[in-house]
Structures are given as C-alpha cells and as structure tokens.
Amino acid sequence: MKHDLPRASPEPEPATKRLSDNLPHSLSGATFSRRSVFRSFAVTAGFLALGGGLSACGGSSQAAEGSIQTWDLFSGSDGISMRSMIANFSNESAVNVRPVTLAWGSPYYTKLAMAASSGKAPDTAIMHLSRLAGFAPGGLLEPYDLELLAEFGVREEDFAPAVWKNCHYEGQLFAVPLDTHPFVVFYNKDIAEKAGVLDSSGAISSITSAEGMLEVGRKLAKVTGKQGISFGHVLDSAQPWRLFWGLYAQTGGGYTIEVGSPAVLDTAKAAEVLTFLTQMMDGKIALKNQTYAGGIADFTSGTTGLILSGAWEMPALKGAIPNLGAMPMPTMFGTPANYADSHSYVLPRQVSEDPQRRRTAHQFVAGLIKQGQKWAEAGHIPAFLPVQETPAYQNLHPQVDYAAAGTTPVFDPPVWFSGAGTDFQNQLSQTISACFQGTLDPPAAVSSMLEIINKMLSAPNPT
Amino acid sequence: MSTQTKIRASRAPKATRAQNQRTSALTIGTSKGWTGGAITALILLALMWVLPILWGVTTSLKSEKDAAGPPLSAPSEGWTLDAYIQVLTKGEIPRWMFNSFFVAVAVTVLTVAISALAAYGFSRTEFRGRKWLFALTIASIMVPGQILIVPLFQQMNSMRLTDTFAGIILPQIVAPMMVFIMKNFFDTIPKELEEAARIDGAGRMRIFMTIIVPLSRPILMAVSIFVFIGAWNNFLWPFIVTNNPDLLTLPVGLATVKNAYGVQYAQSMASAILAALPLMVVFALFQRQIVKGFATSGMGGQ
Amino acid sequence: MNTVLTELAPSAAPPITQKTPAKVRKGSGFWFVVPFLIAFALFLLWPIVSGLWMSLTNQSLTGSGTGFTGLSNYAEALGDAAVWQSLWNTAVFTIATAAPLVVLSFVMAYLVYVGLPGQWLWRMSFFTPYLLPVSVVAALWQWMFQPGFGLINSILTQLGFAEIGFLDQQGVAMFSIVLVTIWWTVGFNFLLYLSALQNIPDHVFEAAQLDGAGPWRRLVSIIVPMVNKTTVMIVMLQILASLKVFEQIYLLTSGGPRGSTRSVLEYIYDVGFSGYRLGYASAISYLFFALIVVVAVVQLRIMNRKEH
C-alpha cells in the first residue's frame, strides 16, 4: 500500500468535469488516493439522491391530502366522457385527481398488476368485472369499506343483484360497477325502412330465429347493393368471442370451465352457433374477412345497414348516422341472453395504509358512479340504478333501446384466466375467426376451442 | 475490432478531410457508368430512408382533419403548428423529455466513470484475481441484459426501487463492453509516460486523472456517445420498472400513455417528431466527432 | 474473443523495470475496479443467480408460490408449443434481418465512400433513423402502414393495387417488422463500415490504379477483403442483437397475428408479467440464454478459425 497523505481537494466538482478536464499541474502537492475515488462517487451518489428527491415530488404515494391518482383504459368518446366526469368531480369536491389513460386490454392489465405488485399502484383504477377473478385472489386489490361507500351515498340496493354479486370475492366487495356494456345490434333506420324490415313503431322486431337474422340481412343487402350486415373480427382479440359466447348462451347449452376438471361445452350447440355465423358471413349478407375498423367504416358509409358491435361504439355510429336504431342481441336460439361485461372501479393494493387517501378514493368512486348519466352518453348502461330511473336516461335514444340487454347479461366464465384483454379471449377469438374465414369447419373449431381451454385449465394458477 | 489507428502518445491521427473524401477516381477508377450508377443508387436509398421521417413531419404540420385525409394532397386547412402547441401545452412531453435527459446524463456519467476506472485497473495495475475478474467481465458481454428483466424486476421490488429514478438508472450502468473497449485503449498508452510521474511520487489516481484521462479523450467521448444514445433510447427496462406517469422517459411515455381523446394523428406525429429532435440536432452538430468516435472505439476499422 | 478484439499494440518501448518493489503496489489497483464490481455484482450477477433460483419455483407476480418446484418449469417449457413458435419466429427474424443489415449497410457505406460530395447529408440520411427511440419508429411506421390513408397503402391504391394489411396478415406482418428493423438500425452498421472504408490507405488504391484495375475488381479484390474484420464484427454483433428483439414487435403487433411475430423475449414478457408466472418466465429466459451462449461460442470459434 502506498501511503499518500490525502489533502482536502478543491471543492468537489461534478464527476463529468472530473473525467473530461485535465487537472492543472499546480496540484502537484495533492495526491489522489482511493479516498478521492470514493469522493467522486459520493458526488455521483448525491446526484442520484437528487434524482430520488425529484421522483418524490412526482410520486403518487407522497401526494398531498385530497389528491388521488386514477387509471383507466378509455379513449375516443369513452375517454372524452370519462375526463369530463373526472373534471366535474374535481370541481365539486375540490379533490385533485390525476387521471392516466393506458392502452386497452393486455397492456393495461399487465401494467396494473405490475404496479400493484410493487406497491406503486394508483389509488383507484378501472377494471373489467371479467378480470376480477384474476386479480382479487392474488391480493393485488383491496376490498371496499361498505360503510365508507354508504357515507358517500352508494349502497347495495343501488345495483342490479346479478352485477353486484359478480363484484365480490370470498364475501368481500372488491369492485364497484360503473356500467354494463353489452354486445348489441345497431341499424341504419333509413336503409332498414327502404328494405321494409321496420315494424309500425319504427324498430326491427322480426328477428326471432337465426333464419330471421339472415332474412333481414339479405333484405338490407338488396338496398345497399353491397352487404347487409357488418361484423368485424379479423385479428380482433375479443369480437369473435363476444359474439359466439353470447349466442351460445342463447342455445341454453351449459358449460363447465373450472380448474380441476376438463372443460365441457355442448359441442353440438356450439357448432350450431358457428354454422349459423358462417352462413351469415357468406360474402353477400356479411363479409367473411372483415376487420373491426372495416366493419365500422362499412356501416357508417352505408355499405351495410346493420352492425353487430359493442355498446361503446354508439357515439361514433350516431355521429355518422343520426337516424340510428339499436336493440339488444335478438333471441335467435330460444333463450334471451346478451354478452356483456362491466367497467368497475377497484382499489389496487397500497403499500402504506393511508386512511385519508383511502377515504378520498371511496369518495371518488362514489362520485363517478353517480355520474352515470354522463357515462350513458358514451353508450354504456349505467350500473347505478337511480340513474337508470331518471327521465333523462329514459329519453336517451338509442341507449335506452338496448338497456334491456342489461337484464340478461352473459359474462365470461369465472376462471382466473378469462376476461377482457386476456390470452383466453384472444386465442379463442383467433380460432372462431379462423372458422368464420373458412379455414376451420365448425366442429373442428369447437374441439380446438376445448383444447385451448383445457390447456389453460391445466396450467398452474399463479394468482 | 482492431484499428490501424496507432495510438501515439499524443492522440489518434486526425484523418484529414481530403483523406475522408477520397476521389472516386481512386476508388472506382474513371468509369462513368459506375459513377453514375453509384450516384443514382445513393439518391434512391437516401430518399427511402428520409421519406418516413419527412412524411411524419408533414403530417405533424397538418390539422387533425387533414391528417386523416388523403396523404398525398395539400392540406385543405393549410399548414399549422397546432399539433405542436397542443402537445407542448399538455405538459407531458416536456416532463418526459426532462426525465429522459436526466436519466441519460446520469447513466452516461456513472457508466463512463466506473467503466474507465475499472478499465484502468484492469489495464495498468496488479492485484490478486485481476485476470480472473477481467475474464468474468469479458464473459458477461455475452449476457443479454434483456433476459434478466424478470429477476431484475423482482429485485427492484424488494429493494423498493420500482418507480424511482435510481431504479431506472442503476441497472443500466453495468457495461462490460465499455470496460473492454476502454481497457484496449489504455493498453496502447505507453507505460513510460506514467513512469515519469510515478518517480515524482504521484499516486495512481493522480496519474489516471492527469495523464491517462487527457490522453483518452477520443475514447471517452466515443464511449459517452454510445452510452448516451443507448440510454436516451432505451425502452425495455424503463418500461418494466416504471408505472408512474411522472417518471416515464420519453420513449416509454409515448408508447404507453394513451390519449384519452382518441387517436389524433397530427398530435401523435408531433410528439414523435419532438421526441426525435434532440438527438437529431446533436448528431447534426457533432457528426464529425460521432463518426470519429466510431473509428476510435475500435469497433470499426479493419 | 481476445484474438479478435485486441488492438494492434503500438510500437511501445519496452516497459521500464519497476523501481519500486512490486509488493508495495500490490492490491492498490483493486480499488479502481471496486465501483464497477459492486454494480456488476448487484445488477448482473445477482439477477442471474436469483433468476436461476426463481426458475426452480412457481413464483408469481402476486407474491405467492415461492416454493421449490424443481425442474418442472423447464419440462413445461420444452413441451410448450408457444415456446417453440417464439423461438422459430426469433430465428426467422434474425436470419431475415442479419443478412440485409450486413449487406445493405456495406452497400450504403460503399456508395457514400465513392459517391457524391456532400457526405454530411448522406450520413445524416442513413444514420438518423438509428437515433430515433423505438416508440417514434413504431409510430412512424404504423402511420406508414395504415390502411386507407396510410402512405404506402394509398400509393398502392392509386396505382390500382389492392391494399396490403402490413401488420395484420400472417406472413406479411413479420416481413413488415423486418423492414422496419432494417430501416431503423442499418445506420449503425453503415457508420462502422464507413469508418472502416476510410481507414483503407491510399497507396493500396494507387497500386490498383497502376494495374488498371476496373471498379468491380477494386471492389471485390481490394475493398471487400480490407473490411473483412469489420464484416465479421458486424455479423457477430448483429446476430446477437437480432436474437434479443422485443420492442418493435411489442409496439407494432404485440406478437400477433396468431403469435406469428411473437419473439422469445415477448413471450417471456407475456408469460411473466401479463400472465404473472415469473418462475416459468425465468425458466424460458434461461433456456434462451443457453441458446445465446451456444450461438456466441459457435461464432467465436468460427471467427477465431478465420483469424489463424
């Protein structure tokens, strides 16, 4: 070891300078030892600490009282409505809300799970009710405090029992529903009138069977000169599944999809539904290889007269076609049933218990739920029943025309891997879409679906 | 990975402009056909490479309505800076830009500092296990950091460093490749330069700072440039380790935080152009140094 | 590795015999290495070790499942069709990008080197994309590939061709990602080649001039051999870089359609973070890591054989 006598060096300068500046020779007396190596590291450590300090300013966990962060996955008209609801809430309550919108589906839920697992999650977040089974068991969410909710005017009796029940896990409330958004039928009343498929009240009511649907489609196609019906599904990670699962429920075919036993579907009835849909997508009634965006474009340009799509598309469709009709999915296989999901608010797990923030989060959720009327403008059926009973909602057309879809909702099977934006929906959608495009026949598609579901059932449950 | 550039005691010989711009007569002879062909191919290729960026720029200068219109027609509402004004007043882009800058500077400073010290240690000093440690460092060049995202994320979780600048920065400062490049450079500096100082009783650190660092400016510059570009553009790690929108770096923010008001093409292009601008400007200004950096790093050369 | 990567030592004078006893300085050099070693141990060695342990458990993102499960994750991975598909996709991507990225970058560098004046402009054109963050690249190309009013498709329709679903047709999507990757990263190799070309001494060409060698002969017998080392270097770096593809795929297609563009890294991300299965994702990482080491070792062997 060489024993240099360390001298106080000139005031520490940033390490950048250290590296690039030639030190003057006048320092010949001072010598650098390992202490000075460490000193330059102390400088950089200070630099990093500054960074840490900066992050503390922006961190959600250190924000002031009466301010919360919320995440959602709404863009387009949904996003516009949501932002104005948040602004209303902020103005009335003086709570400072920081909204963040992330990409819909898998990216959103991946980020939410990662944030919750590292204890840096937002105070509240939107979650599809179909994803609750994958989030609640793993402890990524915190249960609601019913007394706090009641204090802000939200109680069990304000919701439809079927939906309310789905918000629970092991007897605790983990989600508060904002809406039900069903998969429905929109139609162009002008084209429908020319095609002669409107009844005296100006609605399509003649579809009571699969054949009835095809018939209406043919009549509409005659008027447009192209196709009658739009349904976009190519490369879509959800649409084929939504359509199939809702119609399968109409057949009354039950199912068993539970971890620990092989999946059971009524294969004949499932194939029947697929067969009907491939008949519909024959290129004349509907195209067999239409994308989601293509389906919307064809409907709004009058190339087709009817579209099978989610309630969330209502504002865009209404904007293009003022004379827009709507109805729940017609009962074509005997039992009324309508595919639906529900946007709800959840409380992601927090690392540090902060009663005040928790309280504010409850206040925020209650405040947003009560603005269901505004949310209905974006096409969703408000979950908060007092909103549904108002004259304002009762006069909101075409929303109120498909509100009945909310009374017979069909949700995803309640397993941990199902729900919006999951690989489950994605893989099944790809299979169903392949069937529509003619690369798989219906029975083969059904057995391929069972295979996919069984593979997921046998995978270890990570929640 | 070796250069013919012999590092003399002073510095790498500067290639003169004349040398860089060799006459085509020398390299391809006087064949007219070849020269014409080369020029045509060059122009075509350059156009293909510039076109996407140019189109992004023109789109960002249109109104939203025109941006979604036919691409090859003049905008009906004229050219406008609207999209840029919208993007800049929303405040997210400036914030992300600051984060990116802060992270990239910190990563560069720390990486170059620890790598240069280590390279000097490996190049010029003796201690037990030096060869073994250096071999380990070289071997780790082969470890693709990307495959460590899963354990690293868990590690950051347990260190409580997710969603902090330290969590974004620290895992990025381990750069064995840079240690290797710098050690190669230090190896070429004649030892007798140090001996004189050592006889005067200067300590190692002093020798490093007063002799080695000034002589190594070109390589320090080159390494800093590589590290900075890498850190500025790094996507995967910041994407994994941050969720808080206030901490996102520019590439991650652009890709993950969505516009609640739907896809607005002119605005998304304006954000992209703003994100691309800083490095483009730096490159335009420091092209010569950057190109030289490529040469001195020993990764080019012959 | 060393044989390839060492600089030619300059004509340094023989080292002066050390005047101070070696013992005195023993160990003091170690402190220079310490800061790097700390970072190296914390952020490279430790994750390698902890990841290896994690791959032997069914650790979940939610914090459950830290129990030891032995090699079951590895067994599952070897029987997982999605793993093989993603490996195949990664291999296809690597082969499809590496060759053009080497050849095209050389062509560009050669053209700039012999071509027009205005080097500044050409360099800028080819290198600028490399400076763009991946999200900018993805945004630009998504915009180029758009159906309807996207630039490429509207040119196609104006010329009377049908639109191409660049990112949503199986088979085409991988091609599109390869195209974007070439556009984005060719600049780096281009600059490496350019600096190599500019290092060719003039006298080599002067000799060729006297021989009356034509342009083709100059290219084939002088230029290509002279940059051979750079080529070897670029091929090696390029293959290792292409194997690690994730970002542009995640942003452009998320691995679709039907998993046809999903790379290994994307699958690791999907399994570990979207699917919570950190243990299983670690196991896949290690299998992939082993593969990369094999590829790297094979490359080194080939290169070293060329050297001698």
Strand partners, A326: A186
User: Which residue in A has a C-alpha nearest to residue C278's C-alpha?
Assistant: A462
| Residue C243 · residue B144 · CB < 8 Å | yes
pLDDT at A45 over 70: no
- Across the interface, of B122, B142, B152, the residue whose CB is closest to C33 is B122
Q: Which fold has domain B84-297?
A: MetI-like fold (1.10.3720)
Q: In this complex, do A293 and C24 lie within 8 Å of one another by their Cβ atoms?
A: no
Instruction: For residue range B88-107, list pLDDT tens digits in order.
Output: 988 789 999 999 999 999 99
Does residue A78 or residue B300 have the better pLDDT? Answer: A78
3-state secondary structure of A333: coil
Instruction: For residue range C120-167, list pLDDT tens digits in order.
Output: 888 889 999 999 999 999 999 988 898 777 888 888 888 888 888 898
Interface of C with A in 225-264 (CB under 8 A): 254, 256-258
Q: What is the pLDDT of residue B299?
A: 59
C122 contacts on B by Cβ (under 8 Å): 42, 46
Interface of B with A in 31-90 (CB under 8 A): none
Q: What is the pLDDT of residue A26?
A: 33
- Across the interface, of A107, A140, A294, the residue whose CB is closest to C62 is A140
Mean pLDDT lowest among A18-32, B249-263, C51-65: A18-32
A117 touches chain C (CB under 8 A): yes
Q: What is the pLDDT of residue B108?
A: 97
Q: Radius of gyration of chain C from Cα atoms?
A: 25
User: Which residue in A has a C-alpha nearest to residue B245's C-alpha?
Assistant: A100
Of the residues B150, B173, B215, B296, the best mutation for testing chain C's interface (the one with the most C CB atoms within 10 Å of its CB) is B150
- The whole-angstrom separation of Cα B210 and Cα A20 is 10
Mean pLDDT lowest among A333-337, B229-233, C66-70, C182-186: C66-70
* Residues, chain B: 302
C27 contacts on A by Cβ (under 8 Å): 1
Of the residues B157, B205, B247, the best mutation for testing chain A's interface (the one with the most A CB atoms within 10 Å of its CB) is B205
State how far residue B95 is from chain C, nearest Cα, in angstroms. 16
User: Which residue in C has a C-alpha nearest to residue B1's C-alpha?
Assistant: C5
- B145 pLDDT tier (thresholds 50, 70, 90): confident
Mean pLDDT lowest among A411-420, B216-225, C78-87: B216-225
C150 CB-near residues (< 8 Å, 6+ apart): B71, C143, C144
Of the residues C19, C25, C28, C32, the best mutation for testing chain B's interface (the one with the most B CB atoms within 10 Å of its CB) is C32
Q: What is the pLDDT of residue A392?
A: 94
Q: What is the pLDDT of residue C307?
A: 62
Of the residues C36, C163, C253, C284, the best mutation for testing chain B's interface (the one with the most B CB atoms within 10 Å of its CB) is C36
Does residue C281 or residue B5 have the better pLDDT? Answer: C281
| Residue A326 · residue A184 · CB < 8 Å | yes
pLDDT at A62 over 60: no
User: Which residue in A has a C-alpha nearest to residue C79's C-alpha?
Assistant: A455
Of the residues C31, C132, C190, C297, the best mutation for testing chain B's interface (the one with the most B CB atoms within 10 Å of its CB) is C132
Q: What is the pLDDT of residue B259?
A: 81
Highest mean pLDDT among A19-23, A97-101, C13-17: A97-101
Q: What is the pLDDT of residue A25?
A: 35
pLDDT at C23 over 80: no
Question: How much of chain C, in percent, has pLDDT values that exceed 70?
Answer: 90
- Across the interface, of B2, B148, B149, the residue whose CB is closest to C7 is B2
pTM: 0.86
What are phi and psi for residue A183, nearest 5 degrees? -95, 115
- Number of B/C CB contacts below 8 angstroms equals 367
Q: In this complex, do A103 and B258 lie within 8 Å of one another by their Cβ atoms?
A: yes
pLDDT at B295 over 80: no
- Across the interface, of B116, B209, B220, the residue whose CB is closest to A32 is B209
pLDDT at C27 over 50: no
pLDDT at C233 over 90: no
- Across the interface, of A44, A82, A121, the residue whose CB is closest to B109 is A44
Interface partners of chain B (CB pairs < 8 Å, 3 or more) are A, C
Residue B107, burial from CB neighbour count under 10 angstroms (0-12, 13-18, 19+):
buried
Q: In this complex, do C60 and A430 lie within 8 Å of one another by their Cβ atoms?
A: no
Q: What is the pLDDT of residue B22?
A: 55
- C211 pLDDT tier (thresholds 50, 70, 90): confident
Using CA atoms, how far residue A183 sits from A165, A240, A333, A409, C61, in Å, is 21, 11, 16, 10, 32
Instruction: For residue range C214-228, list pLDDT tens digits in order.
Output: 778 888 888 888 888
B239 touches chain A (CB under 8 A): no
Q: What is the pLDDT of residue B24?
A: 57
Q: What is the pLDDT of residue A3?
A: 40
pLDDT at C76 over 70: yes
A52 contacts on B by Cβ (under 8 Å): 164-166
Q: Please, what is the angle between helix B217-233 and helix B92-124, to 10°? A: 140
Domain boundaries, chain B: 32-81, 84-297
Instruction: For residue range B243-277, list pLDDT tens digits in order.
Output: 888 999 999 999 988 887 777 888 989 999 999 99
Instruction: For residue range C159-194, list pLDDT tens digits in order.
Output: 888 888 898 888 899 999 999 999 999 999 999 898
- B294 pLDDT tier (thresholds 50, 70, 90): confident
- The whole-angstrom separation of Cα C205 and Cα C219 is 11
pLDDT at A348 over 50: yes
- Across the interface, of A36, A54, A114, the residue whose CB is closest to B205 is A36
B195 touches chain A (CB under 8 A): no
Q: What is the pLDDT of residue B29?
A: 60
Instruction: For residue range A275-299, list pLDDT tens digits in order.
Output: 999 999 999 999 998 989 889 999 9
B94 CB-near residues (< 8 Å, 6+ apart): B88
CA C203 to chain centre: 35
What are phi and psi for residue A142, nearest 5 degrees? -110, 145
B126 touches chain A (CB under 8 A): no
Mean pLDDT lowest among A271-275, A306-310, C13-17, C84-88: C13-17
Does residue B218 or residue A44 have the better pLDDT? Answer: B218
Mean pLDDT lowest among A43-52, A202-211, B180-189: A43-52
Q: What is the pLDDT of residue B23?
A: 57
- Across the interface, of B8, B128, B300, the residue whose CB is closest to C192 is B300
Residue A16, burial from CB neighbour count under 10 angstroms (0-12, 13-18, 19+):
middle
A296 contacts on C by Cβ (under 8 Å): none
Say which amino acid occupies C36: F
Interface partners of chain A (CB pairs < 8 Å, 3 or more) are B, C
Mean of the pLDDT values across residues A85-113? Answer: 94
Q: What is the pLDDT of residue B298?
A: 61
Instruction: For residue range A431-454, list pLDDT tens digits in order.
Output: 999 999 999 999 999 999 999 999
Strand partners, A176: A345
A342-365: string of b/e by CB count within 10 Å (b at 16+)? Answer: bbbbbbbbbeeeeeebbbbbbbbb
State how far residue C236 is from chain B, nearest Cα, in angstroms. 11
pLDDT at C308 over 70: no
pLDDT at A131 over 60: yes
Q: In this complex, do C288 and B147 lie within 8 Å of one another by their Cβ atoms?
A: yes
Average pLDDT, chain A: 87
Instruction: For residue range A228-281, list pLDDT tens digits in order.
Output: 999 999 888 899 999 999 999 999 999 999 999 999 999 999 999 999 999 999
Mean of the pLDDT values across residues C262-289? Answer: 95
Q: In this complex, do B3 and C247 lie within 8 Å of one another by their Cβ atoms?
A: no
| Half-sphere exposure (Cβ direction) of A20: Cα atoms closer than 13 Å | 13
**Residue A153, Cβ neighbours under 10 Å: how many?**
13
Does residue B181 or residue A3 have the better pLDDT? Answer: B181
Q: What is the pLDDT of residue B32?
A: 72
User: Which residue in C has a C-alpha nearest to residue B208's C-alpha?
Assistant: C32
Strand partners, A181: A341
Q: In this complex, do A1 and C27 lie within 8 Å of one another by their Cβ atoms?
A: yes
pLDDT at B302 over 50: no
Q: What is the pLDDT of residue B25?
A: 59
- Stated as kind and residue range, the H or E segment containing A346 is strand A343-348
State how far residue A48 is from chain B, nearest Cα, in angstroms. 6
C283 touches chain B (CB under 8 A): no
Instruction: For residue range B8-52, list pLDDT tens digits in order.
Output: 333 334 444 444 445 555 666 666 777 788 888 899 999 999 999
C143 touches chain B (CB under 8 A): yes
Q: What is the pLDDT of residue C1?
A: 38
B203 touches chain A (CB under 8 A): yes
Interface of A with C in 125-164 (CB under 8 A): 137-140
Instruction: For residue range B198-242, list pLDDT tens digits in order.
Output: 888 888 888 899 999 999 988 898 899 889 999 999 999 999 999
pLDDT at C21 over 50: no
Using CA atoms, how far residue C10 sits from B178, C199, C307, in Å, is 21, 17, 20
